[in-house]
Structure 1
């Protein structure tokens, strides 16, 4: 069967047993709730995992998942450039849960932050805007540029459906997979 570019949640649910599901969100987002059986390979690690993903695609179809579908579509395009067929889940885990499907939430013994990337971006953007306004009020009016820059970045983010701040926050230690976790995920992909 030819891999479609996008599967809606109903199609994905019907085909879930035959798909290799790869969640491209951060480990904290993945741990907060993911599709049953989803393996976690953050978007910025997709190229590192390319050999294992290629082998998995040869055994069956890949379904890439994120919160809204934007990151998984980016991952799908990266894989397509490497001739690895994959589909993206339309609307991501938000659409999946929105249709009443359960997200797997393992019992966590991991104490890392479980904030979604969207929540981390809102906190960071809000804190930067507030800091810019306070510095402009108490130090020098030129600090208004900080608040204006964040506002402009949010507009660009909405128009382009990308988020530079999320990319930066994704590099923080609490959003990174532990080397052992990533190695175990890649081993699981190798073994099928």
Structure 2
């Protein structure tokens, strides 16, 4: 089964209606603790299974044919989650285009935490590693330039494939887990 995509504005209209659709946020627990969609459930992408999702549908007393809406920060992780679970679900799956950042403020709720997004963490980590490789290359050994080259190659690979290994590693770090 494949998934559909819905605009953030159309999804917001559905949230504000009486039927209150099931929204599953696939960001890290820490990101979810910051800003999120009203009434959403957090199942981080790195831990997400179709069985977990089926349990949530059952817990919410929804029918097996109820649409499951997936949301993340900007849309990419939701697409990855849909690709991961669609074949194992009987429920229709819909990805919210643009993610939480595209939702109108009227359907967002703020948690108690102010959190740094995973994308920002990746930029900081990649920049720090490149800088470390250059500084170590100048002051320690020219072989250290290889670190900068490795990070650059990783960024090119991430751009071509639209997947990021560093983001997957950072998502599992303790600071990205809810307290």
TM-score, length of structure 2 as denominator length: 0.85
1:1-192 residue pairs with structure 2 within 5 A?
Answer: 5-16=4-15, 17-47=19-49, 49-53=52-56, 55=58, 56=62, 58=64, 60-84=66-90, 85-97=92-104, 101=106, 103-108=108-113, 114-177=115-178
Measured in 1, the distance between the counterparts of 2:81 and 2:68 equals: 11
TM-score, length of structure 1 as denominator length: 0.79
> Structure 1: 5+ residue runs without aligned partners?
179-192
Q: Alpha-carbon deviation of 1:177?
A: 4.5
> Structure 2: 5+ residue runs without aligned partners?
none
Larger relative helix fraction: 1
CA RMSD in angstroms comes to 2.2
Q: Alpha-carbon deviation of 1:59?
A: 6.3
Measured in 2, the distance between the counterparts of 1:53 and 1:86 equals: 14
Measured in 1, the distance between the counterparts of 2:55 and 2:128 equals: 39
Residue correspondences, number:
170
